[in-house]
Structure 1
Amino acid sequence: MIGGKLALRLLLSALLVMGAVLWIWAALAEALLPLLEAAIEWIDPHHYVAALSIERAGSDTVLRMEAGIRRMVVMGGHVTPADPRARAVITTPALAFLIAPSVALIVALALPTKRWLDVPLRLMFAAALLFPMLALDSPFVLDAHLWELHRDAHAPDATLPILLWSNFLKNGGRIVLGLAVGLFLLGASPVLRRRSASHPNGSMIAVLLYKWLQNRGKQAGTLHCTVDSHDGAPGVAIHRRPYTS
């Protein structure tokens, strides 16, 4: 019975997350393109991004990158000099980069909790971890395609760390990464709840949601603690300060 309920929760969570991804992913991807370009050039001093865009390729939506060499590359004893005329064009499925965040959100929604407040907190912190998950994926996978060109041309037997990481992600690693983040949120949700209530500078959004939920629970008689906003009432103290980035 428990397994059936969990399977149903997973199914409903997957449908909800996939619907949300299909709704917002294009706008999200376009907004993240400048950050992705900066990340690629930060991790790889040998290449630069000449163009990065989201395009349609038949029935697929792909991430298209045009890149050049800004510093000479030595591979298998062969030297490829920096040449402003040289260009490499890489295309890869765009939605693949959202696998890990989607899995993390599905797990955060579906796994049972003793406190209903844990679910929105999990979702908020899963959203906060969206950028680290993407940073561990898309820049390295795109950049790995460039290094594959050098390896295949000059050192077919060479093994590079970035290629190993890229192969791991493309062969199930994204699901593993998403599951790891989802399970982390499951174990960390009680801690997140306490820290959100007592340390507002740690997450202003979480604190505001916590206060609203606590007040709603107090009115309904389901929660027995109150929130103190310097008005003398007992309970959890939340110190309001202007948010600074």
Structure 2
Amino acid sequence: MAYDFKEEKDVKEFLENLGIEYRFGCYHEKKPEVCHLLGDYLESIKKDYEKAGKVYKTNCEDYSFPRSCYKIGNYTVIGKGKQKEDHGLAFDYYLKGCNLGEADACLNAGLLLTSKNTNVQIEKKHAQGVALLERGCSLNHAYCCHFVSGIFISGIEEASISKNMEKAFKYGQKACELGNMYACANVSQMYMRGEGTAKNLELGEKFKKLAIEMRDEIVKKKPTLTFQQGTKPV
């Protein structure tokens, strides 16, 4: 059937049929990837967060679908969709998703263990958190690379994680390559100062220019964004 998406009734019919299709694929054919789509449909189209959370939870626990583990982790960390807020359980979901190859889950798991946010009710295990961020970076997640680079820029004294500019440079460079402009700015300064790499003013200017170009591109879309060169991650 051809739909005219300029017509409201056609849009409604299309969305209802989409929901039917996802429910059949999930509940009858038991396809984890379709169950996740059903969760997304319930979340974004129906705005039924309680049902969406239940779908994500089942799809993670019973079918080990990594993206669903990440999503139910998000629900659990803030108590969304009538899920009980539980940072420890959220971490378990994130960890499972990360181990299954979901880079966003690695990011959130790593941040839960390393964040300075006092509202996070979970024991800080910085070494494991760093390892999870490194895992996410290996999966080409720009923010994982950026945050772990920031950790090595300053170190974490209370966790016996030493400052390591060579690692900071390695992860910062990868984050930059993956499109993180703040990482590009940090890499620029490392080249300028010879920190973690040989001093190279030419490359320093190159990465500074790259960071500014990224900033300008984002400013076109978000005029209120300000750029701070050399910004260190939290």
The interval holding the TM-score normalised by the smaller chain is under 0.3
Higher relative contact order, chain-length normalized (CA < 8 Å, sep 6+): 1
When normalised by structure 1's length, the TM-score is 0.27
* Higher percent of residues as strand: 1
